Amino acid sequence: MFATFILALRQAGLPVSLTEYLTLLGAMKARVAAYDLDDFYYLSRAALVKDERHLDRFDRIFGEVFRGLERPPGAPEGEIPEEWLRLVAEKVLTPEEMARIEALGGFEALMETLRRRLAEQKGRHQGGSKWIGTGGTSPFGAYGYNPEGVRIGQDGSRHRRAVKVWDRREFRDLDDDVEIGTRNMKIALRRLRRFAREGAATELDMPGTIRSTAHNAGTLDLRLVPERRNAVKVLLLLDIGGSMDDHVRISSELFSAARSEFKHLVHFYFHNCPYERLWRSNRRRRDETVPTAEVLRTYGPDYKLVLVGDASMSPYEITQVGGSVEHWNEEPGRAWLERLTGHFRRSAWLNPVPQDFWGHTPSIGMVGEIMEGRMFPLTLRGLDDMARELVR
């Protein structure tokens, strides 16, 4: 009955299976939602979606399928960066202003202009009447007004009435990896846990006790084992200062999540790229540094190395002797990076820069190459992938 709908959902990447489909049909048959489109929407949502991250996508597909509303042909692929559309300074237009705005022409012309502008435009934009952004009167973007406008990523339709429930897209924030907090990070990092029994024997070992009691012909013989503890060891190297200032918040969240999650966590700081010296505390970085060679000697190859940095720097800092912005380095950054990744059996680089922008900075590609592709975005999914890579 709803096969098209199910197929559309599957095409959008929602893990809907035959079981869910049959469940939905069963519930329809049991008349849980009879003759009411809203109820049907709620029911199909409860039956088909099993993860709040998929709710927004579900709403979109539902809207498309059940209103015959199709994605405009030739609409640009990919999302407009959320940042552009954030409701920062919303411009409320007076009716006179609205009246003054005139339509640009037919729909085809509109889409064509949008495509061209998307290609031209490279930054966030707000207000004005040409570029894509928020609160403006250009035909493209959100929170604006133009009678022939194309709405992109707007939270609620502001100049339209009678919006359906699924069109409100209330679950947008839950989609993918927009929100990330210490708690979520801890969960992702938890994948790194390796349990081992070490230390004093304090727990009753049931199988051991039974085995040795049976061995003693029934005389009780209690056996104890040490408690299970997380034995993973992590060495965290954090980039600090300069271009990392934009990412301070997320880096500090990662740091606090990691610190509470791992008992064996050692951290050092570096600037842009690790060279021959690292430091423990940023306040005393001038006079209290640790030679990187000593770090390599002290922490064994069983430590998991995690570098956190935006890897955005001059390429010379990686390839050239003396390329560092801060001091004269005898060896290029590449040598130290290779030494680090060679020493530790498992290593990875976490990058707070959104993955879509990695291509714009050559040094990110170079570092990624040195890391042999083990560079991950600092998002929940990135953390998860990193954890998988590190425990492999």
Partner 1 sequence: MAAFRSTERYVASRDLEVAVNAAIALQRPLLVKGEPGTGKTVLAHEVARALGLPLIEWHIKSTTRAQHGLYEYDAVARLRDGQLGDPRVHDIANYIVRGKLWEAFESPVPVVVLIDEIDKADIEFPNDLLLELDRMQFHVYETRQTVVAKHRPVVIITSNNEKELPDAFLRRCFFHYIRFPDRETMERIVEAHYPGLRKDLVREALDVFFRIREVPGLRKKPATSELLDWLKLLMVEDLPPEALRAKEGKLIIPPLYGALLKNEQDVHLFERLAFLSRRAGA
- Site residues for partner 1 per CB under 8 A: 15, 17, 19-20, 23, 26-27, 30-33, 38-39, 42-43, 45-47, 49-52, 55, 170-171, 174, 181-183, 187, 206, 210, 213, 218-220, 249
Return the SS3 of 197.
strand
Contact 158, 134 (CB under 8 A): no
Residues 331-348 as b/e (b if ≥16 CB within 10 A, e otherwise) read: ebbbbbbebbbebbebbb
Distance CA 323, CA 369 (A): 19
Choose between 33 and 311: whose C-beta lies nearer to partner 1: 33
What is the Cα–Cα distance from 244 to 237, expressed in whole angstroms? 13
Minimum CB separation from partner 1 for residue 332, in Å? 39
Q: Which is nearer to partner 1, 168 or 284 (CB)?
A: 168
* Least distance from partner 1 to the Cβ atom of residue 38, Å: 7
Write down the least CB distance from residue 333 to partner 1, Å: 34
The pairing of beta strand 289-291 with beta strand 150-151: unpaired
End-to-end CA distance of the chain: 44
Q: How far is the CB of 183 from partner 1 (least distance, A)?
A: 8
Q: How far is the CB of 27 from partner 1 (least distance, A)?
A: 5
Closest distance to partner 1 from the beta carbon of 58 (Å) = 11
Residue among 184 and 320 whose Cβ is closer to partner 1: 184
- Taking the least distance from each CB to partner 1, the nearer of 99 and 210 is 210
d(CA 238, CA 273): 10
Rg (C-alpha) for the chain, rounded Å, is 28
Q: By C-beta, is 80 or 187 nearer to partner 1?
A: 187
C-beta of 32 vs 118, nearer to partner 1: 32
Query: In the chain, count of helices (H) and strands (E)?
Result: 16, 12
Q: Read off the amino acid at residue 202.
A: T
